[in-house]
Structure 1
Amino acid sequence: MNPDLASLPRLELAKLPTPLEPVRRLSHALGGLDLWFKRDDLTGFGLGGNKVRSLEYLAADAIGQESDMLVTGGSPESNHVRTTMAVAAYLGLKGVAVLPSTQPAETQGNFLLDKLLNAKLVFTGDPDRKYLDKHISHEVERLRSLGGKPYMIKRGGVSPLGCAGYVAAAVEICSQLKELNIDPDILLCATGCGVTQAGLLVGFKWMELNCKVYGITVSRTRNECIAYIEQLTKETAEILGLDLTITSDDILVIDEYIGDGYSIPSPEGIESIRLVARTEGIFLDPIYTGKAIAGLTDLVKKGNISSDKTVIFLHTGGSPSIFSYASAITASNDSANSLFIKLPGVK
């Protein structure tokens, strides 16, 4: 491993390496695409997901600064908030979550888990998520004025240290590819704040892996994502001492599958959740991975990704949020209700 990456303080929270495995029945359903899932839904800690990798570095930095609180923010269904609150509980720190708007009408999914973890929940009264980092910063200042030692983590873990988790993941993936003798054309993931995609881009560039990284954005526009990710790659390469450059041309983001907006399930996303559950026994979520697989399915149908390609889908977790969207999942047109896909040669 790169000496500078290895020298960064890190807490071992995730169960690594996560599996890289073929999804044969889903591949068959998508027309024979050579599709593999990188199972970061199985990172283990705090019900898993991609944010565990980032928090290994962020929480280690917090401990190094002798912080007594982890303060972050996100929506009530934020996987990042849930995982951060779990890390705080594990380390014996106070977990503080700054959430937009007001208390949700229903306590379910990740929000239920935040409460179970005894997180202090601070509601901004402002439904606009774009000002959330300012609200987090104000809460950090308030806690400091009271004598606390809060460690601020921007929503989504946006920072070079947060990206370092996925630089390390890229190294892990490259090792698995060599072991399995796989030469992927594309890695596809859901993109929100850009941390995961930025880390992968830096890691693959450093490892000289010629694999395109596609991000299916679930909130911001394509241009906004590219700007965020480009800046994150520069800052991440800098803290790791890597002499590499990633330009906007290297950052592939598709913004056609957001639907009606962030955290609003799309019919195609719900259909994808059903498809993956009923072909592979794997659970996606309505906010991120469901929309990402909907994007992959559509790209294959349109011929933008041909069936002779080898594709890795990074499953970033998020299954707790399924329970908060039960009505949307059950109300949608259940065209996959009788779905049964039989693999050739399998009785």
Structure 2
Amino acid sequence: MKMPRKLTIANLPTNIEHLKRLSSELGNVAIYLKRDDQTGTEVSGNKIRKLEFAIAEAIDNGYDTLITCGAVQSNHARATAAAAAKIGLKCHLILRGSSEDVFEGNYFLDGLFGASIDIVDSEEFKNIDKLLKAKQDELESKGRKGYVLPIGASNGIGGFGYFYAMNEILEQEKTLGIHFDAIVTTVGSAGTFAGLLYANTLVKNDAVVYGINISADREYFAGETKKIIAEMNEYTGENISLSYDEISIIDGYAGRGYGLSTKEEIDFIKYIASLEGVALDPVYTGKAFYGLYNEIKKGNLSNHKNILFIHTGGIFGWKAEQRDIIKNF
């Protein structure tokens, strides 16, 4: 099978930890955590796995600038800015926000890493594809060559980051003497989920790969997953195709919506932090792990004995609104 070239930026392989106290509380299930929040300090989280493939493609095709987008506290935007600085490329970010956003967290780090930043409001951001193309054209008029990455680097080339991660997990199973019969990840733009699912299908691993969406709904992300898998086929020459019924996305845990938290979610994040010494983030892993916890409590995953949850990072994305909920306990 043909595989695209990748760079080596992330600290890999990431560790797998057994959450012993949580597993004991839940009963007849063992919960493990894949620590992809520890892929690096500046580039921490799942995005850098995707960027290792996408940036290699950019370099191989002579691009000198990475152009991407996201919310003002986007982990992907921050990882792209950091990776560009490490590799020696320029970076331009188009972020959804306003002049009232506090210059903190990922937004601050974007600037620290030297990225050029355009802030646009939610209405303008609806036309993000046009904005990205316009920025690419502007750079071209100045003699530069801009490589456009979608939100989350969630496309065919980005999907190989988690194709690679699945193979890493299978090797770690041998070392640990454990077989994970379920692998669970957040679905925020579908690239991580699609990459895991693609590899799991290709190698005929008998684990079920579950995604828990933290925005939109199952139908939307099933469609995005199918699209990314089709794009990955263009690189590999394979013909992986899954029906909607073969795409296991657990809906119902988006809460108030993307980047918005409920007190129950924040309470749960604090509970896990105090129980296991693990910090989840309120945008992605907090919602998804809260969903996993509740699905186990409901008995909906009772056929699984060893469950691996992918911690995709996000520690820099805590905003004042969410911090205040904890402060006011």
TM-score (norm 1): 0.90
Deviates more, 1:97-106 or 1:120-129: 120-129
Could you say which residue in structure 1 is the equivalent of 2:274? 278
Could you say which residue in structure 1 is the equivalent of 2:302? 306
Q: Is the 8 A contact 2:72 2:106 kept in 1?
A: yes
State how 1:29-40 maps to structure 2 within 5 Å: 29-40=25-36
Q: Distance in 1 between matches of 2:306 and 2:23?
A: 10
Q: Distance in 1 between matches of 2:121 and 2:46?
A: 28
Q: Distance in 2 between matches of 1:237 and 1:267?
A: 42
1:327 to 311, 317, 324: 324
1:61 to 57, 60, 70: 57
Q: Please state how far the C-alpha of 1:56 moved relative to its aligned partner.
A: 0.3
CA deviation map 1:2-24 (0-9, x unaligned): x522xx22110111111112110
Q: Is the 8 A contact 1:272 1:291 kept in 2?
A: no
**CA shift in 2, pair 1:310/1:130, >3 Å:** farther
Q: Distance in 2 between matches of 1:144 and 1:104?
A: 31
Q: Distance in 1 between matches of 2:52 and 2:254?
A: 29
Q: Is the 8 A contact 1:100 1:132 kept in 2?
A: no
**CA shift in 2, pair 1:301/1:73, >3 Å:** same
2:186 to 168, 174, 190: 190
Q: Please state how far the C-alpha of 1:125 moved relative to its aligned partner.
A: 3.2
**CA shift in 2, pair 1:28/1:132, >3 Å:** farther
2:290 to 290, 294, 297: 294
2:314 to 311, 314, 318: 318
- The amino acid across from 1:197 in the alignment is F
2:206 to 198, 204, 210: 210
Q: Is the 8 A contact 1:133 1:155 kept in 2?
A: no
CA deviation map 1:285-334 (0-9, x unaligned): 00000001110111112111228621110000111112543123334xx4
| 1:108 maps onto 2:104 in alignment | yes
Gaps of at least 5 residues in structure 1 are 335-347
> Size of the alignment, in residue pairs?
328
Q: Distance in 2 between matches of 1:18 and 1:178?
A: 15
2:5 to 9, 28, 38: 9
Q: Distance in 2 between matches of 1:267 and 1:175?
A: 38
Could you say which residue in structure 2 is the equivalent of 1:159? 155
Q: Please state how far the C-alpha of 1:186 moved relative to its aligned partner.
A: 1.2
Q: Is the 8 A contact 1:99 1:132 kept in 2?
A: no
**CA shift in 2, pair 1:191/1:128, >3 Å:** farther
| 1:96 maps onto 2:92 in alignment | yes
- The amino acid across from 1:4 in the alignment is K
Q: Distance in 2 between matches of 1:330 and 1:307?
A: 38
Q: Please state how far the C-alpha of 1:206 moved relative to its aligned partner.
A: 1.5
CA deviation map 1:224-280 (0-9, x unaligned): 000000111122133112243322222111221111110101223212211221111
- The amino acid across from 2:2 in the alignment is D
Could you say which residue in structure 2 is the equivalent of 1:52? 48
**CA shift in 2, pair 1:134/1:221, >3 Å:** farther
TM-score (norm 2): 0.94
- The amino acid across from 1:193 in the alignment is S
| 1:143 maps onto 2:145 in alignment | no
State how 1:167-186 maps to structure 2 within 5 Å: 167-186=163-182
Identity %: 36
1:244 to 232, 236, 240: 240
Could you say which residue in structure 2 is the equivalent of 1:74? 70
Q: Please state how far the C-alpha of 1:66 moved relative to its aligned partner.
A: 1.8
Q: Please state how far the C-alpha of 1:103 moved relative to its aligned partner.
A: 3.0
Q: Please state how far the C-alpha of 1:129 moved relative to its aligned partner.
A: 4.7
Q: Distance in 1 between matches of 2:24 and 2:125?
A: 39
The DSSP-based 3-state class of the residue aligned with 1:142 is helix
The DSSP-based 3-state class of the residue aligned with 1:46 is coil
Q: Please state how far the C-alpha of 1:154 moved relative to its aligned partner.
A: 1.0
Q: Distance in 1 between matches of 2:124 and 2:310?
A: 29
Q: Distance in 2 between matches of 1:67 and 1:45?
A: 26
Gaps of at least 5 residues in structure 2 are none
- The amino acid across from 1:131 in the alignment is N
Q: Distance in 2 between matches of 1:312 and 1:268?
A: 23
Could you say which residue in structure 2 is the equivalent of 1:235? 231
